[in-house]
Amino acid sequence: MLSSSSPSPTSTPTIKPSSPPPSTSLPVRAIPGSYGLPLIGAVSDRLNYYWFQGPETFLKKKMESHKSTVFRTNIPPSFPFFLNVNPKMIAVLDCKAFSTLFDMDVVEKKNVLIGDFMPSTSFTGNIRVGVYLDTTEPQHAQVKSFCLDILKRSSNVWTSEFLSNINDMWGKIEKDVAVNGSASYLIPLQQSLFRFLAKCIVGADPATSPEVAENGHIMLDKWLALQLIPTQSIPVLQPLVEIFLHSFAYPFALVSGDYGKLYKFVKIQGNETVQRGITEYGLKQDEAIHNLIFVLGFNAFGGFSVFLPSLLDSLGSNNEIQEKLRMEVREVVGSSPLSFELVKKLDLVQSFVYETLRFKPPVRAQFARARKDFVLGSHDSGFEVKKGELLFGYQPFAMRDPKVFDDPETFIPDRFIEDKGKELLKYLYWSNGPQSDSPSTSNKQCAAKDYVVLTACMLVADMFQRYDSITATSSAITAIEKAK
């Protein structure tokens, strides 16, 4: 049984966000932009978004032509086979308008995790798991509390499990670099992540189930891909991608065998955690198991699989950044065993992690539906939004809002240090909420907001305890210089 008494990362001091100025004080104007002719508008926007322009150029052009960070547009997936999916949305691209997505008084988050398109619930045992639940649905509080409790209880094994599994990854990387001159690290990283997260979240050791231990990460990759493909921009092999990947939803049957194996693994090996979900949080056995698989596979494994490579990519081959980070790690931590408490003392490492989350937000799009008619405030105008309209927030633009971040297009590793830098945390939104807020049952902020940041800090600190420098991209390591 895991103890809940060890230090939790949520004890990090936080800054309270200042409340936004009342939107009513702003001049109210009509939301610019249109959805075009029926079908034709949606198809044309879809082809531009995925194929001819890509999401960034598509949104930038509209933002420039409407001279507004808030405008109407279609966002795919859409026609022909997504007949029940409504692509009509209101894009919110500045930091202030984006924060409306966190105001649960005016927006709801029912079934809008990836827009109006929702993968079949057969991917999640015919259950709407926590991320699809609005805060007004009682099951949201049950599932979110269960998840927050899992994280709190696992905090004493989180560090040791992460470090021992990451140690295996570095072992494989070192071998490959020595033999081949470079190492593709995505597979070893995912293998390590799967083992670490299965232990910490499900309380289950994959070693007890050889097939899951060997292939668990691939099972999750396939299950994730089938759900997400219709919403992902894949900038190669057009028009094949439009025809075969963006025109219809893929059936769960393609991964049902794998999912069944994961279900059995969680049910048997994770029985203690499942039972807690039932007795302490009032979940049915099936609800506990499918939610655990989702948090393990989609939230945690999916999130880290995107974020950690982008963190290594930020280090790249930049000797200047690496030298400063290395100096801080060696001065503050030396060769002491790492802990949450220790990495919290690494101001520059934390700032570097925050800047990576700002510069390359791992989850680019967030959605929310207007709960009622309200006026949405951007920096200089108010916009009337009608009940039921869907808001599409695109982080890469909000996180480069020049009214909030100085020199927003430049990666500045120490942007978030000292009081002035820490003030900016209230505008860092990667977790679907300000970095200065805390996840709770009354919001939809990532349950692991602090764990994600501290785990990333741990990766950087551990790396500079081992190495003087590395040369990395978002998928490979091409040089390693061991610590002298």
> 């990759």: which residue's tokens?
221
Check the annotation: does 446 bind a ligand.
yes
Least Å distance, CB 175 to ligand HEM, is 27
Place of tokens 């949080």: 281
Q: Which is nearer to ligand HEM, 326 or 344 (CB)?
A: 344
CB-wise, 177 or 458, nearer to ligand HEM? 458
To ligand HEM, the closest distance from the beta carbon of 302 in angstroms equals 8
Cα distance between residue 240 and residue 257, in whole Å = 28
Q: How far is the CB of 303 from ligand HEM (least distance, A)?
A: 2
Q: Are strands 183-184 and 107-108 parallel, antiparallel or unpaired?
A: unpaired
Q: Are 225 and 306 in contact (CB under 8 A)?
A: no
Give least dist CB 161 to ligand HEM, A: 12
Tell which residue, 451, 132, 450, 156, has the closest CA to residue 294: 132
Cβ-contact 363, 395 below 8 angstroms: yes
Angle at the Cα of 156 (from 467 to 142), degrees rounded to 5?
125
Please give the DSSP secondary-structure letter assigned to residue 27.
Answer: P
Q: What is the distance, to the nearest Å, from the Cα of residue 35 to the centroid of all Cα atoms in its chain?
A: 29
* Least Cβ distance, residue 412 to ligand HEM (angstroms): 21
User: 201 with 292: CB under 8 angstroms?
Assistant: yes
Tokens of 476: 């490979």
* Helix intervals (H) in 181-209: 186-197
On the 0-12 / 13-18 / 19+ scale of CB atoms within 10 A, 27 is exposed
Nearer Cβ to ligand HEM (300/459): 300
**Closer residue to ligand HEM, CB minimum distance, 73 or 366:** 366
Nearer to ligand HEM, 299 or 435 (CB): 299
Instruction: Give the shortest CB-457-to-ligand HEM separation in angstroms.
Output: 12
The tokens of 239 are what?
Answer: 């028009």
CB nearer ligand HEM, residue 104 or residue 218: 104
Shortest reach from residue 130's CB to ligand HEM, in Å: 5
Distance of CA 360 to the CA centre of its chain: 11
Q: Which residue is nearest to ligand HEM (CB)?
A: 303
Distances (CA, A) of 220 to 128, 173, 257, 382: 18, 22, 12, 42
Closest separation in Å from C-beta 296 to ligand HEM? 8
Please list, in sequence order, all residues whose beta carbon lies within 8 angstroms of the beta carbon of residue 186, skipping any fewer than 6 positions away.
305, 309, 475
Tokens representing 420 are 């002035």
> Strands 390-394 and 365-370, how do they pair?
antiparallel
Residue with smaller CB distance to ligand HEM, 151 or 241: 151
Q: CB nearer to ligand HEM: give 144 or 153.
A: 144
Residues interacting with ligand HEM, by CB under 6 A? 109, 113, 130-131, 144, 147, 151, 201, 295, 299-300, 303-304, 307, 362-363, 366, 431-432, 444, 446-448, 451-452
Annotated binding site for heme: 446
Q: Which amino acids are annotated as binding site, given as ranges?
A: 446
